[in-house]
Amino acid sequence: MVGVRGRYESWFLSARDAEPGRPPRALWIRHTRHAYEDADPGGGALWCTVFDPAAGGGPAAVKESAVRADARCGADGFRGEARARGRMAEWELAVAGGGAAELRHLRPGLLYRTPIPRTKLVAPVPDGVVSGHVVVDGVVVDVMSWRATVGHNWGREHAEKWVWLHAAGFPDAPEVWLELALARVRVAGALTPWIANGAVFLGGRRFRLGGVGHVPGVRVVAAAGRLEAIVPGRGIEVRVAADADLDQTVAFTYAGTVPGDDRTALHAGLASVRLGVRRPGRASAELATVAGGAYELGGRELDAGGVPLQPYPDP
């Protein structure tokens, strides 16, 4: 992305320690770069959020608007540190892919080469594990084989409204994972219906969800701390319900690539997820995880449900 005007790029890691019998914990690491149309050089930011309800209080979040030469992000791991407003965080995390091939959400694939959608996304590691450590304000969090996903986004403009949901760690089917991106975008000034892209891994197979050909069947009700969605795919339909405690949800500003085009994003690292899967000629599958999901809702003029906006600029 370096040298390209009016673009942003983001790598993120989302991981959970949500094994039954242990207090659930989660982390969300994000590295971003911006190349502005009216500024040189561009900027960047390093984000770290730890969700640990047993520790008391809300999520611990630190974000620094900086580009550090020693920071690292990618499919194999993340390293960095952030210092801002008297707080500090540092992280050293290694990711193992677990054999799951990269997920390219957009279908058809030519959408990665067209101007619309203006945000492109892939999951280099749709299902893996992460190990290492995170330190926030002197408190060390040892991360030992937490279930994780790595995402990579880039583009010229954030969607008008979006949902990102990842879920794994279903006790009755530990191998199952779900990765889902839902968005409404503006095309020629008009707002599209919800468009879904993603996949579910079930019974040893990866099933594609959504895509341009399945837009009419998508149904979405999304609000702070709550999601209900129906998403069809080829030979499959999933029904998803996610719930997240607003006290364990963090709100950040996502900067646009031009002034005044910012969005607000709500991110919950320990969402409960109920997943229903229907396939022709097969018995329906109903799965649930108490804290194995990450739920992000973003958009312009978003109702944050009372979740306070973090006091960090972007980038």
CB 16 within 8 A of CB 26: yes
CB 164 within 8 A of CB 296: yes
What pLDDT was estimated at residue 2? Answer: 37
Q: What is the pLDDT of residues 26-47, one digit of tens each?
A: 999 999 998 766 554 568 999 9
Cα–Cα dist 202/39, whole Å: 46
Q: What is the pLDDT of residues 204-230, one digit of tens each?
A: 999 999 998 899 999 999 999 999 999
Q: What is the pLDDT of residues 80-136, one digit of tens each?
A: 999 999 999 999 999 998 788 999 999 999 999 999 899 999 999 999 999 999 999
Q: What is the pLDDT of residues 228-252, one digit of tens each?
A: 999 999 999 999 999 999 999 999 9
What pLDDT was estimated at residue 259? Answer: 78
Q: What is the pLDDT of residues 118-133, one digit of tens each?
A: 999 999 999 999 999 9
Cα–Cα dist 197/35, whole Å: 27
Which single residue is written with the structure tokens 């047993």? 54
Cα–Cα dist 24/34, whole Å: 33
Exposure b/e, 163-199, CB count within 10 A at least 16 = b: bbbbbbbbeebeebbbbbbbbbbeeeeeeeebbbbbb
Closest CA to 222 of 180, 259, 173, 188: 180
What pLDDT was estimated at residue 38? Answer: 56
The mean pLDDT of 21-30, rounded to a whole number, is 95
What pLDDT was estimated at residue 1? Answer: 37
What pLDDT was estimated at residue 36? Answer: 64
Residue 259 burial (CB count, 10 A): 11
* SS3 (DSSP) at 112: helix
Give the pLDDT band of residue 315 (cuts 50, 70, 90): confident
Cα–Cα dist 203/188, whole Å: 41
What pLDDT was estimated at residue 3? Answer: 40
- H/E stretch holding 18: none
The pTM (predicted TM-score) of the whole model is 0.95
Residue 260 burial (CB count, 10 A): 5
DSSP state of 211: -
In terms of C-beta density within 10 A (0-12 exposed, 13-18 middle, 19 or more buried), how is residue 137 classed?
Answer: exposed
DSSP letters for 235-275: TEEEEEEEE--GGGEEEEEE--SSTT--EEEEEEEEEEEEE
55: left (phi over 0), alpha (psi -120 to 50) or beta: alpha
Cα–Cα dist 164/179, whole Å: 8
Structure tokens at 153: 């986004």
* SS3 (DSSP) at 144: strand
Residue type, 80: G
